[in-house]
Structure 1
Amino acid sequence: MSERLEPLPQEAYGWHYATVPQWADSDVYGHVNNVAYLRYFDTAMNVALLEHGALDLSASSAGPIGLVVRNGAQFFREITFPASLRVGVRIEAIGRTSLTWGFGLFDLAKGACAARGQFVHVYVDRATRRPMPLTPALRACADALFRDPATVPVTDKQEAPK
Structure 2
Amino acid sequence: MSERLHPLPRSAYPWHQEMVLQWADCDIYGHLNNVAYLKYFDTALNMALIDHGALDLSPDATDPIGLVVKNGAEFFSEVNFPNRLWIGARVEKVGRTSLTWGFGLFSGDAELCSARGTYVHVYVDRQTRRPIELTDKLLACAKALAAPDHN
Q: Same fold (TM over 0.5)?
A: yes
Query: Superposed, which structure 2 residues align to 1:62-73 within 5 Å?
Result: 62-73=62-73
Aligned match of 2:121? 121
Which residue is equivalent to 1:97? Answer: 97
Corresponding residue of 1:17: 17
Aligned pair count? 151
Match of 1:135 in 2: 135
CA distance in 2, matches of 1:106, 1:6: 13
Q: For residue 111 of structure 1, report the CA deviation from its aligned partner.
A: 3.9
Q: Which runs of 5+ in 2 are unaligned?
A: none
Q: Which amino acid aligns with 1:113?
A: C
Contact 1:106 1:115 in 2 (8 A): yes
Does residue 26 of structure 1 match 2:43? no
> After superposition, what is the alpha-carbon deviation per residue over 1:102-148, rounded to whole angstroms, capped at 9, x for unaligned?
00001124443100000000001112211100111111000100115
Aligned 8 A contact 1:76 1:113 in 2: yes
**Partner in structure 2 of residue 57 of structure 1:** 57
SS of the residue 1:53 aligns to:
coil
Report how far residue 78 of structure 1 moved: 0.4
Q: Matches of 1:110 and 1:63 in 2, distance apart?
A: 37
Aligned residue number for residue 4 of structure 2: 4
Deviating beyond 3 angstroms after TM superposition, the runs of 4 or more aligned structure 1 residues are 109-112
RMSD of aligned residue pairs (Cα, Å): 1.4
Percent identical among aligned pairs is 63
Q: Classify 1:24/1:137 alpha carbon distance in 2 versus 1 (closer, same or farther; 3 Å).
A: same
Distance in 2 (CA, whole Å) between partners of 1:30 and 1:39 is 18
- Match of residue 36 from structure 1: 36
Distance 1:69 1:92 in 2: 15
Tell me, in whole angstroms, the C-alpha distance in 2 between the residues paired with 1:109 and 1:132.
40
Q: TM-score under structure 2 normalisation? A: 0.95
What SS is found at the alignment partner of 1:42? Answer: helix
TM-score between the two structures when normalised by the length of structure 1: 0.89
